[in-house]
Structure 1
């Protein structure tokens, strides 16, 4: 009887060990399945356009016909032989929005790409998130978001411009000052968290453009959809995309992926992040996308916005000046 029980215990333990091993295998397989590889976009230099740009500003196009995907990116190096980057805000008196082509024509910027989120249903438009121009906070950072009657304090990703370079941070604003955070609050859906006041530092930037979520942190894919409270929105789905990133050398990357058309399906945030890592980004964030995604270089619209062939009017943009 005792021997029988002992044998049963041994069988039970062997079965338990095998089940535990199986669970580990399943978890590992799941992790690798979710690891997103960058599409093979076979980037090529657009020499005809680059011939008219400073050496520090280069434009590239890429395509993966198997997915299918079409994309473009602009690299803006630091230095005197490069371009000057500014946050552009529409001054249209009627609705405070205009096309990216209009931004380029009005300002003379050699490269213009659409910027941050804005309220499409409001006239005049209002920026949705942090907007800083010439050191003045035009629109404060979003302080919190409500989902299912729960309030989540927010620190969303933003691109900052300084006289010496570019920075991407989880940012907040309060009483005329900006703070950069080492990490956003560790929110989970249905479980709000708090900002840790000991993890912020003053963020000294001249221009800033809020977006989100962050895509890349310390050279690795880190899409902070939950932490920045973008769950419960359509933002994580497959869309045309605009993103900005910064390399270890301080080069600014401006990326656009077409979508909602036969030639290019668009990408999920994880795919967008993988492309940014493949391009060498140390930090990167998602900007306004969908029908807003437009890229103009030397007066030429490079992409086909949302497959419609016409540009949406937007409130903000990033302009590269090559004078």
Structure 2
């Protein structure tokens, strides 16, 4: 079943700019946080890249996001995969080794394996390391699945789609199979899918926003029965109406910030102007780095978990 928030997204989007946000990005009066620019970081960043911090001492919550205008020449985004022997490195190491001005942790991976393996589609510079998942087995029941995936084209445009694979072919779908717990959907007809020619791609999920609407597809993407819908530290990615990229992190499991559930994460993402968005790997993996500065406190510490993939931003000179 699709999960919709009660608050209309159109109200949230009417209160934020679609494009480069103003110096103090507004939120509704009852918003989870009030976004404010981080001037100490923004003064060293190029046009089109801005950092915002949001806090709510009552909940409490602490969150940050980076707005990247991909229409500015020289600004670009990409997915990077660790080339360490164990396929893991910290987000700060990703940023440093790749010369990226912004880095956010990426998709789910199997921590107990050495080298680590990714869960779902992982592609960088046209090469697929891990194909998209086509089905998931839960309690001896097989469900067809298409999971939320960030894709970046050769021209540097960012998109979010439900993606799976059939016979080594990556396919995008306008909607995921309508799975419910204990009631798998029929495997969809291939005629309902389309090719997805991306340079880089990273699956995670579930999706949070679709075309300006709250659409949290926990059941459809077969995340039911897992801890993913609960309150956690979070990472998320969004795309605005003008194609700008939003990279977000929310601290959790600490006194200063409890974390958020998926409904709250969708609300936070929408308050930045994003019209499409998805959840990334979270918990202790959540980390957002700007110009070498770790913005958040992963699991309450300054020690970063090594992760398998990251979303990187290259800034204009």
TM-score, with structure 2 as normaliser: 0.88
1:252 aligns with 2:245: yes
Task: Give SS of 2:259's match.
Answer: coil
Q: 2:217 and 2:71 mapped to 1: Cα distance?
A: 31
Partner of 2:58: 66
Of the two structures, which has the highest relative contact order with CA contacts closer than 8 Å and spacing of 6 or more? 2
Q: 1:176 and 1:76 mapped to 2: Cα distance?
A: 32
Partner of 1:215: 208
Partner of 2:17: none
Task: Give SS of 1:137's match.
Answer: strand
The one of 107, 117, 120 equivalent to 2:108 is: 117
TM-score, with structure 1 as normaliser: 0.86
Residues 264 and 255 of structure 1, relative CA distance in 2, 3 Å threshold: same
Partner of 1:26: none
1:96 aligns with 2:87: yes
Deviation per CA, 1:257-305, whole angstroms, max 9, x where unpaired? 0000000000000110111122221110000000000011000111000
The CA deviation at 1:176 is 4.1
Partner of 2:128: 137
Partner of 1:148: 139
Residues 245 and 147 of structure 1, relative CA distance in 2, 3 Å threshold: same
Partner of 1:227: 220
The CA deviation at 1:78 is 2.0
The CA deviation at 1:82 is 5.2
Partner of 1:262: 255
Q: 1:212 and 1:46 mapped to 2: Cα distance?
A: 28
1:284 aligns with 2:277: yes
Select the structure that is richer in helix.
Answer: 1
Determine which structure has more spread, i.e. the larger CA radius of gyration.
1
Task: Give SS of 2:172's match.
Answer: strand
Partner of 1:6: none
Name the Cα RMSD after superposition: 1.9
The CA deviation at 1:178 is 1.9
- Contact 1:170–1:181, Cα closer than 8 Å, also in 2: yes
Gaps of 5+ in 1: 1-30
The CA deviation at 1:81 is 4.1
Residues 82 and 70 of structure 1, relative CA distance in 2, 3 Å threshold: farther
Q: After the TM superposition, which parts of structure 1 deviate over 4 Å for at least 4 consecutive aligned residues?
A: 35-38
Task: Give SS of 1:43's match.
Answer: strand
Gaps of 5+ in 2: 13-27
Task: Give SS of 1:192's match.
Answer: coil
